[in-house]
Amino acid sequence: MRVLGIETSCDETAASVVADGQLVLSNVVSSQVALHRQYGGVVPELASRAHLDAVIPIVDLALERAGLGLRDIDVVAVTRGPGLIGALMVGVQVGKGLAIALDRPLVGVNHIAAHLYAAQLTEAPAAASPTPDALPVAYPHIALAVSGGHTALYRVDSPLAFRELGSTLDDAAGEAFDKVALMLGLGYPGGRVIDDLARGGRTDAVALPRAWLGKRKFDFSFSGLKTAVRTHVKAHGVPEGDALRDLLASFQEAVADVLVEKAMLAAKEQRLHRIVVAGGVGANSRLRALLTQRCVERRVEAVLTPLRYCTDNAAMVAGLGYHLAQAGDVVSPFTLDPDAGLSRSGAPA
Ligand code: KG4
Ligand code: ZN
């Protein structure tokens, strides 16, 4: 079954064709980062307009790279939320139009569930399971979804059944990276820049707080950490050279330490031995290294979603769309609406 996925929830216009929920035949992502950079964050109205311009050419390119025509598509899958309403609207309308014109089933995909699924994707035919329902990353497992818009821990029982164990009380982890980068004049978005600049810095150079949150042990808070960086900068000025590297390495360590420890604790409490990391911040090299190291120490399997499927993409939407279609979770192209606040909690697992 070939599923065309469309993703326009934030600032990436993306389309992809995935066979049987796993084999990625094409994965096209057009980023609007350059457009939003001058504003230091995503401007919703500009995002919607840029999606309008890009979405049809991106869908065409995804089909061309897959070597397919529109009629070869069996199912249309589109992100319906959570995200920016105007941005979601663009993808949803295109998905509806294609489903009606081609007379194909339409499925509406939860963006977070798609992130949680992304580790199942592959481009190598040999790596795809012979039976689509025997997936390479076994269930149940713990998933840590960390991006610019969300930071949460989940117990995941299947592609469609997951339960939120905790989430951020304030900033998402990616937001903390982006705000600290802006504070230090490093531009937007800041995650990748901080990751690169922190290399070689001393992770214990600046004492920064970790919010363990007592009883709310699976929730997160990054606003105190952000304030601590601001206070440090006020006292010492904006650092340069080695001092900048040290501050960034210390900040990154504080974020990664909390994310990894809480994921390990969730695995222990749920008696699970596998942790999947996904979402844009899941691309962070220190987070990946620390998770791998602590998982080895505690005999837990660390599953690192490939970098190209960590940040927003439509392959994860098409991949999960396959399972929705198989489950008969098809929606009418005449009534599907985007839902900016679509639950991040998923179906009860
Ligand atoms: O998943 P994503 O592409 O979009 C959302 O759904 O939010 O995540 C984007 C976020 C941004 O905040 C960006 O700064 C962060 O992911 N990010 C990183 C890295 N690459 C992207 N954060 C830390 N380290 C990275 N290497
Ligand atoms: Zn995302």
Bridge partners (DSSP) listed for residue 75: 3
**154 assigned to some structural domain:** yes
Are both 204 and 291 inside the same structural domain? yes
Are both 101 and 162 inside the same structural domain? no
Are both 214 and 113 inside the same structural domain? no
Q: Alpha-carbon distance 161 to 347, whole Å?
A: 5
Are both 186 and 285 inside the same structural domain? yes
Q: What CATH number has the domain bearing residue 238?
A: 3.30.420.40
Q: Which of 138, 117, 164 is nearest to 306 (CA)?
A: 117
Non-local CB neighbours of 45 within 8 Å, separated by 6+ positions: 86
Query: Would you tell me the crossing angle of helices 241-269 and 223-236 to the nearest 10 degrees?
Result: 160
Residues of the chain with pLDDT under 50: 348-349
Predicted pLDDT of residue 348: 44
Burial class (CB in 10 A: 0-12, 13-18, 19+), 237: exposed
**135 assigned to some structural domain:** no
Domain count, the chain: 2
Predicted pLDDT of residue 316: 98
Are both 88 and 61 inside the same structural domain? yes
**127 assigned to some structural domain:** no
**278 assigned to some structural domain:** yes
Rounded to the nearest angstrom, the distance between the alpha carbon of 263 and the centre of ligand 2 is 19
Rounded to the nearest angstrom, the distance between the alpha carbon of 33 and the centre of ligand 2 is 14
Are both 16 and 112 inside the same structural domain? yes
Predicted pLDDT of residue 130: 76
Are both 152 and 116 inside the same structural domain? no
Rounded to the nearest angstrom, the distance between the alpha carbon of 311 and the centre of ligand 1 is 6
* Identity at 55, one-letter amino acid code: V
Are both 104 and 19 inside the same structural domain? yes
Atom of ligand 1 nearest to the CA of 311: 3
**Phi, psi of 163, deg, nearest 5:** -130, 130
From 287, 311, 312, give the residue whose CB has the most ligand 1 atoms within 8 Å, as the site to mutate: 311
pLDDT tens for residues 50-79?
A: 999 999 999 999 999 999 999 999 999 999
Q: Alpha-carbon distance 314 to 13, whole Å?
A: 8
Is residue 198 a contact partner of residue 245, using CB atoms and an 8 Å limit? yes
Are both 278 and 152 inside the same structural domain? yes
279 lines ligand 1 (CB under 6 A): yes
Q: Could you list the residue range(s) of the whole structural domain that residue 87 is in?
A: 2-121+309-326
Q: Which of 230, 229, 294 is nearest to 259 (CA)?
A: 294
147 lines ligand 1 (CB under 6 A): yes
Residues above pLDDT 90, as percent of the chain: 93
